[in-house]
Amino acid sequence: MGLEVTVGVGTLEGAQKIDANPTRGDDPVSALASPIVTGWRAWVTATWIWASILRVALSRYPPGRAILAVLALRRKLRTRWPDTRRGWTTKLVRGAGRTFFNLNYPGFPSPAFDRITARELGWVAPSTEPDATLQTLILAITRRCPLSCQHCSEWKTLNQPERLTREDLLAITARFEARGVTQILLSGGEPMLRLEDILALCRAARPGTDYWIATSGHRLDGAAAARLAEAGLTGVCISMDHFEADRHDAFRGRTGSFQRVRRAARSVREAGMVLCLSLCATREFVSAENLERYAELAGELGAGFLQVLEPRAVGRYEGRDVALSTEQLALLEDFKMKFNTDPGRVRLPVVVYHGHNQRRLGCYGAGRWFVFVNSAGEVQACPFCPGSAGSCLDGPLEEVLDRVARSGCHAYPLAA
């Protein structure tokens, strides 16, 4: 699954003025409490979480079947995330007043956690109650962006006239929330260019839905982060594509982008939200030394999660051979396993590497686990699978989701 913000070329009126001081808030966030929970505290929290999962199971099944369902779910989670001991990584992440064991699973305790737990139990132990079959919506809320990123998947539509009004966005999210979605990730373009719309969406969220944004860090200063946290935003995925400022800036096509990442990271942490740093792992970047240095910087910046995305031959990369080598893929898989289980790296962020699971288990997109709605309101299997299954604003949503499920993922079979 990819949650990467999609950005690209363009000139926006006022953008230079707003980001005129990119070094503000550039100090490391070491003064803030680490979001990583380990040791006996993680064990106690894990026990509490499993007790809550059992509570949800007991609300759906007779006692004996509830216990069997929980055991089956435990086995499934261990299969899905092999770098685990309890069905998740040996370190947990604190943020937004909750505890997270995976970037793609809502924080505990929360109505969203209970809703997705019921969904997961329904997969391993079907009940008479209807189960939602879709967890996450990735929604591109804008086509605008001030950057010119090398890997932009929205390159062909970037900075064209907007297609979705605030009313459209509210209608789309309401339809998916009614369908059982528990997480909504707002991307673009650069979503922070529609800050007021993000605030409106967060405030309109029904209980049991978490909102996230995927951003380059543009305009995400302390004041904006405080407003987002107050509106109920759970977390922020900030794209950081190198640990060296000049190389990140070159990849993003704008000087000062790296300093804005640092400022945004601090702002997110100070506002109490969950911070994820997202890396597009290109051929030029992937080496053991680079991954180690990147993870160390992510830890210094206070990230709870470190998301690794593989480059895809779409958008600005269309027609190019950007796939990683077999050796580099193996290195990324080893990086994920090592950094999530090695006691010597226990204080570093939890590594999330979607490509690893896609090759092992299949894709969770195309309406299986998540779906993507582009900036025109059309449904796609994921941000990297072009081709519309239809608009989610017109007609029955179920028919559109059925079409995208039948088309599936372009690169992987759907997960069982």
Whose CA is closest to 306, among 239, 364, 258? 239
Distance CA 39, CA 53 (A): 21
227 has a pLDDT exceeding 60: yes
The residue assigned the tokens 């999962």 is 53
The residue assigned the tokens 């809502």 is 106
Distance CA 388, CA 74 (A): 36
Higher per-residue confidence, 364 vs 267: 267
Q: What percent of the chain is predicted at pLDDT more than 70?
A: 85
Distance CA 365, CA 405 (A): 8
pLDDT digits (tens, 9 = 90+) for 284-305: 999 999 999 999 999 999 999 9
pLDDT at 362: 65
* Class in CATH terms, 131-407: alpha beta
Higher per-residue confidence, 408 vs 184: 184
pLDDT digits (tens, 9 = 90+) for 172-197: 999 999 888 999 999 999 999 999 99
Say which range, 143-147, 156-160, 317-321, 337-341, has the weakest mean pLDDT: 156-160
The band of 6, judged by pLDDT with boundaries at 50, 70 and 90, is very low
17 has a pLDDT exceeding 50: no
Q: What is the DSSP string of 347-365?
A: TSPEEEEHHHHHHHH-B-T
- Do 25 and 266 touch, CB atoms closer than 8 A? yes
pLDDT digits (tens, 9 = 90+) for 36-78: 998 889 889 989 999 999 999 999 999 999 999 999 988 888 7
Domain boundaries, given as residue ranges, for the chain:
36-124, 131-407
DSSP state of 211: E
Tokens encoding 180: 């059982």
Distance CA 26, CA 14 (A): 22
Tokens encoding 43: 């064990």
Higher per-residue confidence, 311 vs 18: 311
pLDDT at 187: 96
Tokens encoding 268: 């997110």
pLDDT at 8: 32
pLDDT at 385: 77
Q: Assign residue 377 a region: left if phi > 0, alpha if psi is -120 to 50, beta otherwise?
A: left
Distance CA 372, CA 362 (A): 17
Three-state SS for 308? strand
Tokens encoding 57: 């199971």
DSSP 3-state percent helix, strand, coil across the chain (nearest 5): 40, 15, 45
Tokens encoding 319: 């027609």
pLDDT at 407: 76
Tokens encoding 76: 């499934």
268 has a pLDDT exceeding 90: yes
Query: Using only C-alpha atoms, what is the Rg of the chain?
Result: 20
Whose CA is closest to 292, among 334, 248, 232? 334
130 has a pLDDT exceeding 80: no
124 has a pLDDT exceeding 80: yes
Other residues' Cβ atoms within 10 Å of the Cβ of residue 54: 16
Distance CA 285, CA 310 (A): 11
Tokens encoding 198: 């993000």
